[in-house]
Amino acid sequence: MLVGGGIFFASRKSNSTNDNSASYQTYMQAGKDAAQAKKYAKAADQFGQAYNVKATKTAKHYQDQAQNLADSVNLAKTTTKYQSAVNLAQKAQKQTGGYSVMTTQAKKLVKTLKAVLDNYQHEIKPLLKSAASDMTDGNYSDAASTYSKILDLPYINGAYYAKVRSEVKSLLKEAKSKSDDSDSSSSSSSKDSSSSSKSSSKDKASSSADSSSSSSNQAEGQSQSSNDKVNGSTVTSRDTQQIRNQLDNLGVGSSGWSPQDLINLFRYASSQGHTTIDSITKSDVEGYLNSSK
């Protein structure tokens, strides 16, 4: 019985070892496949699963290498911390006991990220600094132009410039908005100035017209003043009423006569020798009417 139990136990242990070995190999192969597809986060997970089944140095080295590559790529795609991304890629490249496929990929990634870092440090950052200076100085149109230059760079649509593109597009939108507001404000100021100028011109024209009107009225007043005089004496409104009464006495209707007509009649009568209102005759009236036709 004891011998039979020992054989059973050994058999179970052997089967368990075989199962673990199969699982380990499955996870390791899945990790390699993911690594070859550059799915480093998945690869790191699969190598980690393999390590949990069988804690080998190979599984651990592969896991660490894949994780460094995953972190490097993620950092380059979601931030502008390119130097840190390069450091992680170099660490993966130098991984002890690493997977040869990932080592080769890491080497290429280091080269790519170094080029990205160089572009960022020596071309993109100076343009960003220039645009920021223009924004501070209120030169929004110039800033917008500089941001557009960054978005026109031949490499800017690469995967590792995603964060740069996102930030620059946001800054460009802000610059354009402020530029439009500035232009609108300048246009409004110009219109106000133009309106003020036109208003000033109108005021001057109005003043000139008033002055002209005043001069004209003054001249007219002087002319009327001279027409109000007969024999050097001013004919008053009381005098014109007496002339109107005289016409009524002569049987001539005075309702259609204006004050100036009455004064002119008196002037005519005076020229005929009738220098007082009560000396105006019907003949004077007839003579005046004939002379004015």
Query: What per-residue confidence (pLDDT) applies to 58?
Result: 97
Tokens in use for 137? 């100085």
Which of 274, 218, 278 lies closest to 288 in space, CA to CA? Answer: 274
How do the domains of the chain map onto residue ranges?
Answer: 26-170, 227-291
Query: What per-residue confidence (pLDDT) applies to 93?
Result: 98
Using CB atoms within 10 A of its CB, is residue 28 exposed (0-12), middle (13-18) or buried (19+)? buried
CA 65 to chain centre: 49
Burial 113-130 (b: 16+ CB within 10 A, else e): bbebbebbeeebeeebee
Q: One-letter amino acid identity for 265?
A: L
CA distance linking residue 241 with residue 262, whole number of Å: 9
**C-beta separation of 42 from 65 below 8 A:** no
Query: What per-residue confidence (pLDDT) applies to 278?
Result: 87
Using CB atoms within 10 A of its CB, is residue 65 exposed (0-12), middle (13-18) or buried (19+)? buried
**pLDDT tens track of the chain, all 293 residues?**
444 555 444 455 555 667 788 999 999 999 999 999 999 999 999 999 999 999 999 999 999 999 999 999 999 999 999 999 999 999 999 999 999 999 999 999 999 999 999 999 999 999 999 999 999 999 999 999 999 999 999 999 999 999 999 999 999 999 999 988 876 666 565 565 555 555 555 555 555 545 444 444 443 444 444 578 888 888 888 888 889 888 888 888 887 888 888 899 899 998 998 888 988 998 898 888 888 76
Query: What per-residue confidence (pLDDT) applies to 92?
Result: 98
Query: What per-residue confidence (pLDDT) applies to 224?
Result: 43
CA dihedral sign, ordered 156, 161, 164, 167: positive
Query: What per-residue confidence (pLDDT) applies to 227?
Result: 78
